[in-house]
A = this chain, B = another copy of it.
Amino acid sequence: MANHHLLSLSLSILMVFHGCLAYQPFQQQQQNECQIQRINPLEPNERVEAEGGWTEFFDANDQQFRCAGVEVIRHHIRPQGLYLPSYINTPLMIYIKQGKGYQGIILPGCSETFQSSQQLQEQSQQSFQDRHQKIRNFRQGDVIVIPAGAAHWMYNDGQEDIIAIVLLDSTNQANQLDQFHRRFFLAGNPKQAQQQQQQGMSWGRPSQKGWSQEEGSANIFRGFELEILSQAFNVDPQTAQKLQSPGDNRGHIIRVERGLQVIKPPVPFQQQERGNANGFDETVCSTKLTANIDNPSHVDIYNPQAGRCTHLNSQKLPVLQMVQLSAERGVLHSNAIVSPYWVMNAHSILVVTNGNMRMQIVNNKGESVFNEQIREGQLVVVPQNFAVVKQAGQEGCRWIAFRTNDNAMINTLAGQNSAIRAMPVDVIASAYQMPREQALNLKFNRKETVMFKPSSMQWGMSAAA
């Protein structure tokens, strides 16, 4: 399988200069940072405003994130908002909670395959000829993968705010730089940068603050001398100076007043990820980086009474093998239960997107380290191997969970295909000191898989009351 994906990625190069995507950044351990005494539901604790939207930061120093070795941020991009081009030293996994738009993910050595022709020009009233790399549409429910170091920008061409939940896998093997993410902007001049610099935090991450220097950056052109920029781009110094964005106080998300004009197919295209290029091009340049996890037709677990669950792993989206991440989208109906389970090989970073549910998380000493309700917008990290149970509240619950393995393996404890079902009745009877009849009940009473409709009262709501 792993092979097959590698083959299908078959990451080649167009120009030898640009090298190859064929690294396999296996998840690195954050050892001894998982001595968690108590898990609390997290919410963002910092907010950075910009002209075209804002970004919220969860506390990257919280032990839950240090245990999982990740960071989480949330972007709000208003209509006609453009998130300025930047690249980061970690792979990103983005879930589009709301909205639609398009983005450029710039891969080195890939052709400028979106070109304006004479005809198109006339149709689109564009007064110039342009060509650029592929642009990818996205919409609610999409999961987008951005490799470490790949420059990207994002634009809202819809009518409502884009809400994007972003996982930054800072301990990913692809990040050789630092324990926290660093964003390198190619444009703009975020206000906060000045403030941080005034505070003397002229380099890297301020350790006393709970959020990354996301916005504490001038763009990288600021560090070059005008003369060399002018020569490199073969433009006059005035043009070169604009690269450094002096006096730009719009922040990291700008508003494009007249709307952004780019070359892209006139009708929305969804599964057009594998492009029209030559043999080499197809491998790395047309790697599929997006998949929709909300689409009900891709559901993996489905119980009409209880809910549904979709997994996005490297079997479905091969690029996930490169970044060693996966995602789960869960929908749980009113009062329905997810069987107690543990994930064998990954941490889970779970964000509730709608409604609420009650979760219990249990450590290896049989202690409950979390036994609370978690509601829309809140986040919880479930460490590898910790046992979990979930029950939705009255209005049901939806969540997105990021996992630090491209093929997270889940063991349920109750129901069809569970670990209890896998054991002989006599092992159960002996282990739990019960008659075989009782052991048989334990094994076979629950016929469903993973998601159950509770027979009686609502545990989640009553207990929380």
Contact = CB atoms under 8 A, between A and B. Distances in A.
Interface in A346-394: 346-347, 360-369, 371, 383-385, 387, 389, 391
A377 to B, nearest CB: 24
A23 B183 contact: no
Contacts of A360: 223-225, 228
A254 interface: yes
A366 B220 contact: yes
A263 interface: yes
Contacts of A405: 19, 23
Sorted from nearest, which 7 A-B pairs have the closest CB atoms? A149-B344, A223-B362, A218-B366, A222-B366, A20-B407, A187-B431, A133-B422
B106 A423 contact: yes
A117 interface: no
21 contacts: A19-B410, A20-B407, A25-B26, A26-B173, A29-B175, A31-B178, A68-B176, A87-B411, A104-B423, A108-B411, A128-B425, A130-B440, A147-B344, A148-B345, A176-B345, A176-B404, A183-B364, A216-B365, A225-B463, A242-B433, A242-B438
Interface stretch (A54-62, A136-144, A266-274, A311-319): A311-319
Given A182-B364, A224-B389, A344-B147, A22 B176 contact: no
Contact of A421 (B112, B347, B463): B112
A200 to B, nearest CB: 12
A409 B108 contact: yes
Copy number in the complex reads 3
A222 B204 CA distance: 45
Nearest to A114: B424
Contacts of A204: 34-35, 363, 365
Given A106-B419, A411-B106, A228 B431 contact: no
Contact of A446 (B28, B108, B233): B233
> What is the size category of the interface that chain A forms with chain B?
35 or more
A6 B7 CA distance: 12
A344 B188 contact: no
Contacts of A161: none
A417 B18 contact: yes
Interface string A12-44: 110111111111111111111011110000000
A98 interface: no
B366 A223 contact: yes
Nearest to A441: B235
A168 to B, nearest CB: 13
Contact of A235 (B217, B346, B442, B450): B442
B20 A446 contact: no
Interface stretch (A71-79, A288-296, A454-462): A454-462
B20 A409 contact: yes
Nearest to A10: B1
A405 to B, nearest CB: 6
B419 A301 contact: no
B7 A3 contact: yes
B430 A254 contact: yes
A433 B245 contact: yes
A420 B234 CA distance: 13
Nearest to A248: B433
Contacts of A216: 365
A110 interface: yes
A385 to B, nearest CB: 5
A390 to B, nearest CB: 9
Interface string A174-185: 111111001111
Nearest to A321: B22
A417 B108 contact: yes
Nearest to A244: B366
A151 interface: yes
A153 B417 CA distance: 17
